[in-house]
Structure 1
Amino acid sequence: ENVGERAREWVRERERAGRMSADLKRQVKIKTGIVKRLRKELAMYEQEKVQNDKRVEDMRASGADTYDIRQAERVADESAMMIPDCKGRFDAAFSDLEKLVDAEKANDEIKNTEEYKLAVEALEA
């Protein structure tokens, strides 16, 4: 009877470990996706800012109406205001993923998964 109880405990422990592993893989996958998405979003805002600044300069050079120039400047300013917020969110997500990857680098079970490898790639990109 004692052997049976130990066997049941071993099975329960393996099930818990399997759930933890699945939850951990899910966490890594989600955090990796967040980092990738925010990196793209930040690049988009930075590109948009350059385009809007160029548009304002072109309008000034061509002698466009003052009202139109001010409108274009407002659009450029709004776009530029998004960058610090997005950068802050990206930095936080990057740090979060980096901590998770560092914490699990000794865990061979997760380290050999596709999710972990993609997380490392996202951090190195």
Structure 2
Amino acid sequence: MRLARPPKRNPQESTITLINVVFLMLIFFLIAGTLTPPLDKDVTLISTLESERAEPPDALFVTADGIMRARGDAVTAADYVAAVRQKDLLLPEDPLTVKIAADRDLLAERLIAIVGELRDAGATRITVVTERAAP
């Protein structure tokens, strides 16, 4: 007795391979990407027309009321400098750069006073973080 051959089926394209590739890319970008802390929601950054492009900093945020915050918690200048030195494993004689993200409504006198407090606490270089204004 002769049996009929089953009809030849065209192989279906598997989406499993595509899913695997996309998943591996996701894992790669999660590991290779730079994770930065979010900006403080109570601080509206100063706008500038010309500035260098950079990633959002892990900075000392200063609200319009002059309250200093690091990662959402209120801090003093001395405590912030000490925490940065400890985190970066710096010695007291090592130079320390502090980034300040000040609110645009902060009084200039208060900003200058905060810079003075940071210098007294041991910061050797202080930069002010701004956002680039739309042209």
Higher relative contact order (CA 8 A, sep 6+): 1
Q: Which has the larger radius of gyration?
A: 2
Q: TM-score range by the shorter chain?
A: under 0.3
TM-score after normalising by structure 1: 0.25
TM-score after normalising by structure 2: 0.24
